Structure 1
C-alpha cells in the first residue's frame, strides 16, 4: 500500500474581533481523522479486492479534495483492478503531470500500457521506473513481462535473474523466469525453475498453470492434469490439455513458421494461455 499523502490541517475559528472571547470550533477538526480512516479503509479494501468499497471511499475523498494525490492514485488503482484502463490511465496521468517522479503513478502508467499491449511505451516506462527504483521487484517483473511479450526472452531472463539476486524470496520473479524460459524454447529448464516455486504457499497461480504447460509440452499429460485439477474443474483441465497437445504438435511440425519453440510457436504461446503474474496483477504498488 502506498504512503498516504498528508491531508491539510483544519483551521479553527478564533471568534469575533469585537469581543474579548475566543470561540474555538472543534467540529472541523473531526474531519481529519475521519478522512484518514476512510483512506486507510479504502486502501485495505483495494488490497482485498473489494473494488466497490474502494471506489466509493476514494471517490468520496476526491470529491472533498480534488487535488488529493493519494485519492487519485487510489482511485486509479481501483479502476485498473476493475478493468477500466482508460479511466485509470487518466488518473495516473494527472498525478504524473504534477509529480513526474511519483513511483505509484509511473507504475500505473506502465501497467496500463502493458495491459493495452502498447509494448514499446510499456518497456520505456518500466525501464524509467526500474532506473529510479532498482530495489523494487515489481518494476523488474513488469519490465520482464513486457520484454517476453515482445519476444525478447533473453533480455527478460537477464532482468529476472538480476532482480532475483536482490530478491531471491520473490516467488513471482521465479515464476516469470520459468515462463520466459518456456517461451524461449528451454522448456525443461523452465519446468525446473517452476518446480522450485509452484508448491510454495505464496506462489502465484500462474506458476502452477505454467508448470502444467511445461509438462504438457514435454508430453507428460498426467503430471499436467494433476496440477490443473487443483485449480479448475476437470472439463477445463481437459481443454487445457488439448491446447497443450495442439501446441506441442505445432512446435514439432516442420515448415517455414516452425523454427523451434523460440520462433513463431513461442510467439503464439505468449499470445494465448501462458501469462506472467506481472502482466495481470491488479494490485501491488511500490512501497
Structure 2
C-alpha cells in the first residue's frame, strides 16, 4: 500500500523530440506502455536513447521505463550520464530526485531537487518530491512547508495535498489530516490512495466507523490497528511510492 506518493517522471509532449528516428521509436514505446508491454517499451526507449543521446526528454523517459521493469540501478546510470551532458537540465534533475526517493536515498534526492528548484522555484512536482524526501528523513515540518508551497502555487495539485495529509499523520496531527483528505476525496480525479489515507487518519482519531467506510474493506481491522500504532510511534519515517 502506498502512503506517500512521488510523482512519476514527466516530460514534454513527444512531438518535441527532434530526431525523427528517435521520435518514431518513442511513439512505439508510448503505445507499448499504454498496452502494458513494459519490456517492449523499455527496449524501444533504449533504441531511442541511443539514437538521441543529448535529448534530455528521451533519456528521462528511458530511465522511467527502466524503473517500471525493475532496473532501478540502470535507470540511475542513464540519468547520471544524461546529466553529465546537460548538468543543469531541470527535467533530468527532477527525474533523478524522484528515482533516489524510490531507492531510499532521501538526502541525495533533496540535493538533486534543490538544484531543480533553483531554476524552477514554482515546480510543484519538485516541491512535492522534496516534501516526500524530507518526510523520509523525519523532517515533517519542513516537508509540510514544501507541500504547502506547492499547494499555494497550484491548489488543484492532488499529490502534494495527499502527501501533506499523510505528513500531518506522521507528525501526530490526524485531525488536520482528516480535514485535508476529506476535501481532497471529493475531487473527481482523486485516486484511491486518498480514500485509503483518509481512512487511516480517521482511525488515528478514533473514528473507526468512518475509517472503515473510507477504506471500503481494503484494510482489515488487525492491519489497520498495526498501521495506526506504527504511525503513532515517534521517529517514524515513511516509505515512498506512486
1:6 alignment partner in structure 2: 18
In structure 2, runs of 5+ residues without a counterpart are 1-9
Instruction: After superposing the two structures, state which structure 1 stretch, 40-49 or 185-194, moved more.
Output: 40-49
What is aligned with 1:60?
47
Which of residues 105, 111, 119 in structure 2 aligns to 1:132? Answer: 119
Q: Aligned equivalents of 2:121 and 2:187: distance in 1?
A: 26
1:141 and 2:109 equivalent? no
| CA distance, structure 1, for counterparts of residue 114 and residue 36 of structure 2 | 28
Q: Give, in whole Å, the separation in 2 of the partners of 1:104 and 1:245.
A: 36
What displacement does 1:68 show? 5.2
Match of 2:158 among 171, 185, 190: 171
Rounded Cα–Cα distance in structure 1 between residues aligned with 2:35 and 2:89? 23
Q: Which of the pair has more CA radius of gyration?
A: 1
Shift of 1:97: 0.2
Q: Shift of residue 171 of structure 1?
A: 1.2
Cα deviation 1:212-256 (Å, max 9, x = unaligned): 1111111222222222226x3xxx4334323245448xx4xxxxx
> Is the counterpart of residue 86 in structure 1 residue 73 in structure 2?
yes
Scaled by the length of structure 2, the TM-score of the pair is 0.83
Superposed CA RMSD in Å reads 2.4
2:5 counterpart residue number: none
| Cα distance between partner residues in 1 of 2:36 and 2:93 | 22
* 1:44–1:141 CA distance, 2 compared to 1 (3 A): farther
CA distance in 1, matches of 2:76, 2:34: 19
- Of 245, 267, 275, which residue of structure 1 is paired with 2:235? 267
CA distance in 1, matches of 2:182, 2:53: 48
* 1:217 paired residue number: 204
Deviation at 1:48, TM superposition (A): 7.1
Gap change, CA 1:143 and 1:70, over 3 Å in 2: closer
Shift of 1:193: 0.6
